[in-house]
Structure 1
Amino acid sequence: MSHPPGLDLGQLRSHLDRERPGLVGGPLSGRLIEGGRSNLTYEISDGTSKWVVRRPPLGHVLATAHDMKREHRVIAGLHPTAVPVPEPLLLCEDEKVLGAPFYVMEFVEGTPYRTAAELAPLGAERTRAAVLGLVDTLVDLHAVDPAEVGLGDFGRPEGFLDRQLRRWGKQLDASRNRELAGIDALQSALGRSLPASPAPTIVHGDYRLDNVLIRQDETDGVDRIQAILDWEMSTLGDPLTDLGLLVMYSARLELPDSPISTTASAAGHPAPAELVERYAARSGRDVSAVSWYTAFAWFKLAVILEGIHYRYTLGQTVGAGFDRIGELVPVFIEHGLTTLKDPKNSQNSQNSQNSSEG
């Protein structure tokens, strides 16, 4: 029996037989699903049925950053709602089984679209529908009453934006080893103009096209979101942080061979302004401060990328593309500053180009 790193299939099978007798019918096989940024995701199968296992990365230190119980709790709360999430089947906090806590959930068929090239076979019309569906599903998530699904204490929404800005500022300080023009100005400008948050909701924290599974319905041909994945950054907080991140990921970076996945250049992809308008119309929320949330998303991603670059300079990362991460950071900083200075232009500059391709 071949075991993927971090997944002892024999131990897992014994545990499943004890806790969910009859679930597994044959010998287990498993493979690591590539693409996750942090926690490890595996597909397992008994030859007839398939499931998914999630566990922290190998050799993880900060348990709070890879909280399997927390991930399991949020999808368990959301599963009975209109929000599409995989059905959670089992949570194991006993580290003797796999060496770390883990949970098992149903396997959901669908595709996470990570690049414009992957979207190209869908064509402009289907791409447009898929991205607009991403907005509609986000509205559904933000419409869930946390208390009604047992998540009323899932986070601390008071002072959420201030804490988020300080948190990512500390992350930046922890990986400073070069001058980054404009990053301190961006952080200070964000701090001076904190918007008043709307009523708190469940926040995904990393909401984008490649964190959902999309599948075309065989009867009507419509591409629908089958499941939202990767809830490791979820909490209770300001819903517009999810919108700002989605707007940021919908901007065109125009960087050839960028190691950062982007789908915004795909034919039919709606412009950021249209996504904001659709969210506002369907949610009823005031989105007049969306430029702040989008600039914050640029800042947050600049910090994350600088952390990756810092680890690369120390020889702590391996793989293709890491050598080019560092050159992207100034681009993200500049986008953040531009968004704060001229928010209307930053959202609308792509309208004509996107619509002409659609």
Structure 2
Amino acid sequence: MTSLQWIDAQLPGRPALGIDEISDLIGLVYDGPLLDIPWQSLLDALRHLLAANYVTLVLRPPSNTSPGLMITSSAVDTTVGTGAYAQHFYAIDPFVNLPNAQVLTVHELIGEARWLESEIYRFFNKPYDVLEIMGVDIRAEHGVECRLRICRPHGSDRFSEADKALCRRIVPHLERAVRIHANLNTTESERRFYAGTVDRLLIGSVILDDTGQVLTTNGMADALLAEKDGLVVCNGQLMADSAQENRKLQALVRQAIALRDSEQPGIPLGLSVPRKGDRARLGLLVRSIASQKWSERPRQPAVAVFIRDPDQKALGSAELLRNMFDFTRTEASLVLLLTQGRSLDEAAQELDIRRNTARAHLRAVFSKTGVTRQAALVQTVLHSIIPLD
């Protein structure tokens, strides 16, 4: 059998697929990782091509600790059925753990009699009008796994060799696309984690492209830029209010862009920007982002500008302080106020305790943290993981 003979196989009641149709189908496989609901278009196409009533892609199998992640194409709402399978029926499903990348039908795997007598068929599949099932399990590198299940109703034709050949054709492409999806998910999870960390530290971040135009900003930067006090975005460019400071800022950005292809990235470039009235100056750190050799994006991230507002205090969690240092509730509250710049008298007043009581709590805190001075205490707390809470 030649590599293209499968194209001539007839699907039930349908003409053979042409090269363009096959190309479109494989295209849907690789579009899958980019969709809001991954591979939904592919599942819809397979449902129509294979005269199925349900097509499901299991990206994370259910377990006793997780409902898993399943995407289904159907003409009806599958919320209840998916929930029932994830809660109970997955544990008694005999059509799982198939040989890797082999397309099989449920009749081939366990036999028709056993299938019709099975609990999952009688109490789950039959009520949802599912008799025929064709599937394939794909196990990729690093524990990545997915399962494709294609179902037909009672009274329909059994899956043919042509149907199986169609599925076999897309299996290697689906395996690659699932690996791409897993890598994208890992990268996105890491990005969100580090972005969240920067937000919790109350640091604004502005990413510029290689022309100095703003690409992205985080929430803290958005808040600072919305004030239009010290820094603004004008015509897509990050600018300082002061003409003198703006010249310095643009020079630092140009310098950072020039350094991005250097084998030894330059040290971060710093600048402080004045604001109106008696507000503290904004601190800026300008840093190069190494260019991506194989990136096809016309606008690549080139420079990161980090913004710190000294008036913003990173607030820690009293509960985390208690867990880390075995503080009492009052001790933790006192320490948090001291890290926010309060004096001991001001902290005592806010906590509605006497100064001598506050001093007694402070001595206990010193004993638990191993420091003897208030400044050292504040430094110990601020340099711990407390601001990341």
TM bucket normalised to smaller = under 0.3
Report which of the two structures shows the higher radius of gyration computed on alpha carbons.
Answer: 2
Q: Relative contact order: is structure 1 or structure 2 higher (C-alpha 8 Å, sep ≥ 6)? A: 1
TM-score using structure 1 length:
0.20
Bigger strand share = 2
